[in-house]
Amino acid sequence: MPGSIWAAEPLRPGGGLHQQLAKLAASPLDVLPVLPALARRASPVDARRVHASLVQLFEAASTTAYVRLVIARTLRAMKPSDQTMRALCATLDSTKDPAWIVAVLTAIQGPRDERIVHAVVAVLEGHVSDDVIAEHCVGALQRVDCGNSHIAACVTRLISRPDVPRHIRLLLQKLDSRPRSDIHVSTQRPYASLCVFTQQKQYDALIDAVLTVLKSQEPLTKGVWKRVAHAVKCVPDRGNDVIDALLNRNASSPEHGALACVCVCLVHVVELSMDSAKMLLDQCRAGLEHVPHRLLATACIRGARRSTALRSQFVEVLDAVVSSAPTSLASYDVAVVVIQDGAPDLAPLADGLLARLDLRDVRFVLWVKALRCICESLVKTTSDIAASVCCLREAQLCLRAMRSSSSSMDFQEAFLEHRIALIEERGSPFGPDARRLGAIGHQLSRLTRSVMSLGPRSRQQIETLAADDRSYTAFPPAFFVHHRPNLVGVKASISADRCSIAVSGRFRQDLVDRVASVYAVIDGACVVPLDLDQGRFARDCPFRSDPVAAASVAIVAVDHDRRRWEVATVVPVVS
């Protein structure tokens, strides 16, 4: 096969991933060379679409042997993720085509998930008499073997079978004689030990290692606590075992790191066992004197979520935490935790906290404004994506100002950046892609419920505070405000001859002096400057391809400091 097929060719104009997939069946040899580069830059969802298309093309009856060979090498060049590899390995049970089996085996590179290892072992046991497939299986096991006991047991069984060819038996003996990294945890260097199991993705061994580390009495660092929480995230079914070990360790020698790790682990556990819930409740009661209020409030709230039987008792302890917290930054921190939970039975606690707090404290003011902006971004419809993004931008600035005030916050700028990117790419949470937003959409909807679950007095206080611009003197004003529309009468209409899109509208009166120029961005690609006169703008924007395909027109304003702001997004209609 010519080597130029696998060269990193430059992407052709208009040769995006979706366009190339549409042409794949008709001209595979033109599309296959550019797929690896496109798939490496694509999102996980689009990457899985690429592999599904390759599987479909490979199984088609009209696909020639040469194209199948090209598909196999394309698959190897893509370096699929674990999730994609699991889907590909699932096809090995049903396929009879040796070329496809070899293609999947050669695509397995480096340490992999144990389910992938099991699939390779099953193929080896079923095709041990086939020289080509058996050699590829052994090669794949050599690349993924990191001391896996399942591989060792398979090798032992196959070496003793009489039907195994001699050269395959020699390869298996070499594989069996390699040094193995059996489970060995150094309590003196726990972080390095846990990192090894995490990198090798031996999650059951990772949990065993975590339990060994937690039973030792060695002091643990912040990095180790993070690895422990990551282990529970990988294997949530064994989360209760880890939480038990954490609580037992905390009972023998109380340490804030163990309790904080319990709070993180509770996020990944569906239901807390009764024994663990009682132990956590006792430790929360005992920690009223020496545990930070915010940590104690978080433990009580998450314990109440994960233990239905003891929820009322956790709420009682939380009430004691709120009562003992002084009117200071500690009260502010506890207020953030309580309000974010948004449960109806916590509304009286939130009301009491807000009554005791100094609502003009700049940290609390900024947090309320950030929360308000995030909630406003949720309410926006799909056709008002730009306003939703502006809300989140202002929330991000609020949190940045809070960080400069030496205040801790659960929201991080990376979280908002990711949220902004999702909205810009897919639309608002109420659009057709709501399910893809996953945990982020769930968290933001919970924040919206947080405001609605407060008592009427507290809600009125927050709304008054958020609407009073004078309370934000310590915060630089945003370029655009969100409780009023930035544009008036903006519209985009496709002309009768379908060769242009007419865009028109005007800015709000108080924004006229701030805007230096304005542009229309059609489908995120075609940028057209608009004629601007005293805040009014209009122009017929030529559109080279079929304008019916235009999904959106974004209006982008530029101020006198050359800062760009996307102020509106409209869907063009046919005039």
Query: Are the CB atoms for 107 and 80 separated by under 8 Å?
Result: yes
Residue 257 makes CB contacts below 8 A (sequence gap 6+) with: 220, 222, 225
Do 42 and 161 have their domain in common?
yes
Do 49 and 133 have their domain in common?
yes
Residue finishing a domain among 151, 176, 201? 176
> Could you tell me the two tokens for 195?
């990192």
Do 468 and 496 have their domain in common?
no
Per-residue pLDDT 10s for the chain (575 aa) are 232 222 333 333 334 677 777 778 778 877 777 777 777 677 777 777 787 788 778 777 777 777 777 777 777 677 676 667 777 777 777 777 777 788 788 777 765 566 777 788 888 888 877 778 888 888 887 777 555 556 667 777 777 777 777 777 777 776 655 444 444 555 556 766 677 676 666 777 778 888 888 887 777 777 788 888 888 888 887 888 888 888 888 888 778 888 888 888 888 887 888 888 888 888 888 887 788 887 888 888 888 888 888 888 888 888 888 777 665 545 555 666 666 555 666 667 766 666 666 555 555 555 555 555 555 554 444 445 555 556 556 555 555 554 544 333 333 444 455 555 555 554 444 343 333 333 333 444 444 444 444 455 555 554 554 444 333 322 222 222 333 456 777 777 777 666 778 888 888 777 788 788 888 877 655 677 888 888 888 888 776 544 444 556 778 777 776 666 667 667 666 65
The full 3-state SS of 224-276, as one line of letters, equals: HHHHHHHHHHHCHHHHHHHHHHHHHHHHHCCCHHHHHHHHHHHHHCCCCCHHH
Do 318 and 415 have their domain in common?
no
Is 55 part of any domain?
yes
Is 184 part of any domain?
no
Residue 494, φ and ψ in degrees, nearest 5? -85, 135
Residue 460 makes CB contacts below 8 A (sequence gap 6+) with: none
CA 221 from centre of chain: 26
Do 385 and 514 have their domain in common?
no
DSSP 8-state code for residue 496? T
Do 308 and 421 have their domain in common?
no
Residue finishing a domain among 153, 176, 199? 176
Do 137 and 28 have their domain in common?
yes
In 325-434, where does DSSP find H-type helix? 329-341, 347-356, 362-379, 385-404, 413-426
The domain of 171 spans 3-176
How far apart, in whole angstroms, are the C-alpha atoms of residue 518 and residue 559? Answer: 9
Domain count, the chain: 4
Is 36 part of any domain?
yes
Do 300 and 369 have their domain in common?
no
How far apart, in whole angstroms, are the C-alpha atoms of residue 316 and residue 244? Answer: 23
> Could you tell me the two tokens for 304?
């109440």
Do 108 and 14 have their domain in common?
yes
Query: Are the CB atoms for 214 and 228 separated by under 8 Å?
Result: yes
The full 3-state SS of 156-194, as one line of letters, equals: HHHHCCCCCCHHHHHHHHHHHCCCCCCCCCCCCCHHHHH
The model carries a pTM of 0.40
Kind of pairing between the strands at 573-574 and 487-494: parallel
How far apart, in whole angstroms, are the C-alpha atoms of residue 559 and residue 272? Answer: 54
Is 507 part of any domain?
yes
Is 366 part of any domain?
yes
Is 222 part of any domain?
yes
Do 281 and 381 have their domain in common?
no
Do 264 and 409 have their domain in common?
no
Residue finishing a domain among 279, 303, 326? 326
Do 228 and 158 have their domain in common?
no
Q: What is the CATH number of the domain that holds 548?
A: 2.60.40.10
